[in-house]
């Protein structure tokens, strides 16, 4: 679901039909002192361009037999970007730079850092149960590096809901919202 809040309809790319001229208006409003925040998380919507590219390149977590692994969010299915794969991290940073920073966002919420499914298989061969508690750091590190590589360390704010050991040096802010989350059936 890597996407701009309300600007790309969950596809990872700006939706010009729903938000015409946003690519120019965001810069016009920025000149007036209005800054834009967006949203990103480590999931890509199945059958959309970013998912298809990530799947083709081997950047997504898999089933134990190597077949595709999908997370059911109730209304849609997503692949999990595998932050244990250095090439997937580079790809994800490029998406952040192109689709968010270059587009004109001044920051974003980096969501779902805490939600690595524990039954998927990762590039580094470690159990997802072991990697689960490291996942918030991995996601924040990729975002932090994308901002630094773009030369925007002092200009862009991102905040996370999840954290853990090590995030103190890379997270610009943490958000304590959604402290109670229910993912099952009621």
Q: Look up 111 and say whether it is catalytic.
A: yes
Tokens in use for 159? 């905040």
**Helices 86-95/135-149 angle, 10° precision:** 50
The partner residues of 107 in beta bridges, in order of sequence, read: 37, 157
Q: Kind and range of the H or E element at 80?
A: strand 77-80
Residue whose token pair is 């967006």: 38
Helix (H, G, I), strand (E, B) or coil at 3: strand
- The Cα 113–Cα 181 span in angstroms is 14
**8 A C-beta contact, residue 81 and residue 54:** yes
Active-site residue among 53, 114, 145, 149?
Answer: 114
Active-site residue among 21, 65, 72, 178?
Answer: 178
Tokens in use for 17? 């039909």
Active-site residue among 82, 106, 111, 131?
Answer: 111
Catalytic residues: 111, 114, 178
């Amino acid at each position: 679901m890597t996407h701009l809040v309300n600007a790309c309809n969950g596809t990872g790319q700006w939706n010009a039909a729903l938000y015409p001229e946003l690519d120019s208006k965001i810069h016009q409003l920025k000149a007036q002192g209005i800054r834009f925040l967006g949203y990103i998380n480590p999931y890509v919507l199945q059958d959309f361009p970013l998912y298809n590219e990530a799947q083709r390149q081997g950047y997504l977590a898999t089933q134990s037999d190597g077949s595709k692994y999908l997370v059911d969010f109730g209304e849609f299915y997503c692949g999990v970007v595998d932050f244990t794969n250095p090439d997937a991290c580079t790809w994800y940073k490029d998406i952040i730079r192109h689709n968010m920073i270059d587009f004109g966002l001044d920051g974003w919420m980096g969501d779902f850092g805490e939600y690595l499914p524990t039954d998927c298989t990762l590039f580094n061969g470690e159990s997802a149960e072991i990697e689960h508690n490291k996942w918030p750091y991995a996601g924040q590190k990729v975002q932090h590096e994308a901002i630094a590589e773009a030369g925007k360390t002092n200009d862009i704010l991102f905040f996370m809901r999840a954290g853990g050991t090590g995030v103190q040096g890379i997270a610009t802010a943490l958000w304590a919202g959604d402290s109670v989350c229910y993912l099952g059936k009621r």
